Chain A
Amino acid sequence: GNSVTQMEGPVTLSEEAFLTINCTYTATGYPSLFWYVQYPGEGLQLLLKATKADDKGSNKGFEATYRKETTSFHLEKGSVQVSDSAVYFCALTSSGNTGKLIFGQGTTLQVKP
């Protein structure tokens, strides 16, 4: 079945450091890929998405590229801020027309000043 695997956290970085959170997936067909973020005390929010191979999603300085050959969708940011501290979830929807999300287990990012 479809699944998503993320690197385990927590990830602790200093402000302005480079961030990578790894995400790999297993899916049949052509899934859409997403990164959701959960800030402390808030609900899940869509951060970025990519709907086909080689697409790059980007938002708020974060980027992720849909790599079909490596079944990956790694999240990157060149310079993190304290306000980026949150839990990040990689997710996919199957190519069928359902919108049902399959999530990874989440990666906690802590950014220290």
Chain B
Amino acid sequence: GAGVSQSPRYKVAKRGQDVALRCDPISGHVSLFWYQQALGQGPEFLTYFQNEAQLDKSGLPSDRFFAERPEGSVSTLKIQRTQQEDSAVYLCASSLDLSSNTEAFFGQGTRLTVV
């Protein structure tokens, strides 16, 4: 079956513009995670869902960041009024459950550039 799919792969936004990033997880995966990866750094946790419930959003850097997963499958990460420091690769990952040793499968990411 298909892996985790993210779209768009690349997004250029003007400062102040709103953007929406989409993640299609592997079918049947309960858990979904969003990470932010700055250039030359490791991914940093943003938020995660168990089905449609957002259980932890402690990593979201500001109230301009919002994530949803209304039907427990596809998820959208929305960034309002983008700023230059939001430029990064946004990674989505899914896993079968929330166990701490379950493999997470990652998408290829969306590279956001704010100009």
Binary interface encoding of chain A residues 74-113 relative to chain B, with 1 for a CB under 8 A from any of its CBs, else 0: 0000000000000001010111111111111110000000
Identify the B interface with A (CB < 8 A). 3-4, 31, 33, 35, 40-45, 48, 55-56, 91, 93, 95, 97-104, 106-109
Please indicate which of the listed interface residues A51, A101, A104 has the most CB atoms of chain B within 10 Å of its own CB: A101
B104 contact set on A, CB distance < 8 A: 46, 99, 101
Q: How many chain-A residues does the 8 Å CB contact rule pick out?
A: 28
A89 contact set on B, CB distance < 8 A: 42-43
Is A98 in contact with B56, judged by CB distance below 8 angstroms?
yes
Given A32-B100, A91-B42; 15 other pairs, CB 8 A cutoff: A31-B100, A41-B108, A43-B107, A43-B109, A44-B93, A45-B106, A46-B103, A97-B98, A99-B31, A99-B95, A100-B45, A100-B56, A103-B35, A105-B42, A106-B41
Distance in angstroms between the alpha carbons of A4 and B48 in the assembled complex? 20
Is B91 in contact with A98, judged by CB distance below 8 angstroms?
no
